[in-house]
Amino acid sequence: MNIIWHGQSCFSIKSKDKLIVIDPFDKKTGLKQPRLKADILLISHDHPDHADTSIVKKAHDDLKIISEPGEYEFGGVYIQAIPAYHDDKDGKERGETLMFTLRSEDMVVAHLGDLGQTELTEEQLEELNGVDILLVPVGGEYTINGNQAAKIVTQVDPRIVIPMHYNIAGLKVKIGDASSFLAEEGAKEVEPKDELKIEKRNLPVEEREAVVLKPKTG
């Protein structure tokens, strides 16, 4: 499995000959938009910096778009879209978002969307049981911040955690950086990678690993 981060909450994941794209952003973010191809497109919510479907073209015969809660299966890739709140007031301020689990190659990847809840419910944790790789927002303002994200990570207990939705060069959205989250995870000196290439047998066993990805835009 290959995981590439494009900035904000946008990822490309290649698994089992399927290309999955999550939360493509619009040009108003200030970031150069990537041109992406996908078999499966996941949209956590309809805010422009998460739902610019125009930059995603079909990779093969069709493009499946998932933007509603439920369970889905395409070509051996199993996806669950789980409701969550975009704020910590039961959605009263910013509405709802979706979290996704993606099961493929005997691994589970979870993407938490624009999560604003500072604590996951028991029901949500049941849906997120067995997550190997967690993609979690850490920038605050519109999502949980770094300290809150670290507590969410402890709840989910993945083997690998990848921060997303934080301030990077060129971004016009005013959010914080990843420093407080990485400090909480004991990973302040971690070297950023171009992408994460991972197989089940290479997952860390003893301790959780924080992976920082370089944003691949344009």
In a domain, 218, yes or no: no
Return the CATH number at 188: 3.60.15.10
Tell me the CA distances in angstroms from 80 to 1, 13, 77, 108, 115, one per residue in order: 18, 16, 10, 11, 16
In a domain, 51, yes or no: yes
The pLDDT value given to residue 189: 83
Paired strand residues for 77:
74
Asked if residue 134 lies in contact with residue 102, where contact means CB atoms within 8 angstroms, the answer is no
In a domain, 178, yes or no: yes
The pLDDT value given to residue 87: 72
In a domain, 103, yes or no: yes
pLDDT digits (tens, 9 = 90+) for 85-139: 887 877 767 778 999 999 999 999 999 999 999 999 999 999 999 999 999 999 9
In a domain, 20, yes or no: yes
Q: With a threshold of 0.85, does the pTM exceed it? A: yes
Tell me the CA end-to-end span of the chain in Å, nearest whole number. 22
In a domain, 215, yes or no: no
pLDDT digits (tens, 9 = 90+) for 188-215: 788 999 999 999 999 998 899 999 999 9
In a domain, 156, yes or no: yes
Tell me the CA distances in angstroms from 79 to 87, 110, 136, 171, 175, one per residue in order: 24, 10, 17, 30, 29
Alpha-carbon distance of 53 to 17, in angstroms, equals 21
For the chain, what is the domain count? 1
Look at residues 121, 57, 49 and name the one whose alpha carbon lies nearest to residue 84.
121
Asked if residue 155 lies in contact with residue 120, where contact means CB atoms within 8 angstroms, the answer is yes
Alpha-carbon distance of 101 to 107, in angstroms, equals 10
Alpha-carbon distance of 182 to 165, in angstroms, equals 14
Domain that holds residue 145: 2-210
pLDDT digits (tens, 9 = 90+) for 1-25: 999 999 999 999 999 879 999 999 9
- DSSP H or E run through 56: strand 56-58
